[in-house]
Chains A and B, each alone.
Chain A
Amino acid sequence: MYVYDQFDHALVRERNAEFSDQVARRLSGELSEDQFKPLRLMNGLYLQLHAYMLRIAIPYGVLSSVQMRKFAHIARTYDRDFGHFTTRQNLQFNWIKLADTPKILEELAEVEMHAMQTSGNCIRNTTTDQFSGAAKDELDDPRPWAELIRQWSTIHPEFTFLPRKFKIAITGATKDRAAIRVHDIGLHLTPKGFEVYVGGGMGRTPHLGHLIKSGVPGEKLLSYLEACLRVYNRYGRRDNIYKARIKILVSALGPDEYARQVEEEWNTLDQAAIDAPYYEIDRIRSFFPDPAFADKAFDQAALDRAKAADPAFARWVRNNTHPHKRDDHVSVTISTKPVGLPPGDASSAQMDVMADVADSFAYSELRVAHDQNIILPHVAKADLYDLYQQLDRVNLSTANAKKISDIIACPGLDYCTLANARSIPLSQEISKRFADADLTDEIGELEIKISGCINACGHHHVGHIGILGVDKQGIEFYQILLGGRADEKAALGVITGKGLPAEAVPAAIERVVRLYLQLRTSPAERFIDVVERLGRETFAEALHEPA
Chain B
Amino acid sequence: MSQLNSSATPTLIAKDGTRILDGWALLNDEDVVGADGPYVLGFERALTELPGLNGKYGVRVNPGDDIRLLTPYMEKIALVEVNFPGYRDGRGYSNARILRSDLNYQGEIRAVGDVLRDQLFLMLRCGFNEFVLKDADPEGAIKAATDRFENAYQTAADARQPIWALRQKLTEA
**Chain A residues proximal to chain B, CB less than 8 Å:** 5, 7, 10-11, 14-15, 17-18, 22, 25, 30-31, 35-36, 38-39, 121, 151-152, 154-163, 222, 230, 233-234, 238, 268-270, 273-274, 276-277, 279-280, 283
Contacts and interface: CB of A to CB of B under 8 A. Distances in A.
B1 A280 contact: no
B55 interface: no
Given A10-B150, A151-B163, A158-B97, A280 B91 contact: no
B73 interface: no
Interface in B118-163: 118, 121-123, 125-126, 148-156, 162-163
A10 B151 contact: yes
20 contacts: A7-B151, A7-B163, A30-B4, A39-B2, A121-B90, A151-B154, A155-B122, A157-B93, A157-B122, A157-B154, A159-B90, A160-B122, A161-B87, A161-B88, A161-B93, A230-B94, A238-B63, A238-B91, A268-B102, A280-B168
Interface in B5-27: 5
A18 B148 contact: yes
Contacts of B121: 157
Contact of B149 (A22, A155, A273, A274): A155
B167 A162 contact: no
B162 A234 contact: no
A38 B162 contact: no
Given A22-B118, A36-B2, A161-B87, 15 more contacts: A10-B150, A10-B151, A11-B151, A11-B153, A22-B2, A25-B2, A38-B88, A121-B90, A151-B153, A151-B164, A152-B153, A230-B97, A233-B91, A270-B101, A273-B155
Interface of A is mostly: helix
A160 B90 contact: yes
Contacts of A233: 90-91, 93-94
B101 A154 contact: no
B3 A35 contact: yes
B35 interface: no
Interface in B59-87: 63, 87
B149 A14 contact: yes
A268 B98 CA distance: 9
Contacts of A273: 155
Contacts, number: 109
B49 interface: no
Contact of B164 (A158, A159, A268, A276): A276
Nearest to B124: A157
Contacts of B168: 277, 279-280
A30 B135 CA distance: 13
Interface string B102-117: 1000000000000000
A154 B122 CA distance: 12
A234 B94 CA distance: 7
A232 B98 CA distance: 14
Contacts of A283: 167
B150 A31 contact: no
A38 B153 CA distance: 23
A7 B97 CA distance: 24
A274 B162 CA distance: 9
Given A7-B163, A158-B97, A280-B168, A39 B118 contact: yes
A35 B2 CA distance: 5
A79 to B, nearest CB: 27
A515 B97 CA distance: 59
A5 B3 contact: no
Given A158-B93, A233-B90, A276-B164, A31 B2 contact: yes
A30 to B, nearest CB: 7
Contacts of B118: 22, 39
Contacts of B102: 268-269
B89 interface: yes
A276 B3 CA distance: 36
Per CB-CB distance, the 10 closest pairs between chain A and chain B, nearest first, are A161-B90, A157-B125, A280-B164, A157-B122, A35-B2, A151-B153, A273-B155, A7-B163, A158-B93, A276-B164
Output the residue of A15, A31, A157, A161 with the most chain B CB within 10 A: A157
Output the residue of A31, A276, A283 with the most chain B CB within 10 A: A276
Nearest to B6: A35
Contacts of A15: 149
Contacts of A5: 167
Nearest to B166: A7
A14 B150 contact: yes
Contact of B1 (A38, A159, A268): A38
Given A25-B2, A121-B88, A280-B168, A157 B155 contact: no
Contacts of A11: 149, 151-153, 163
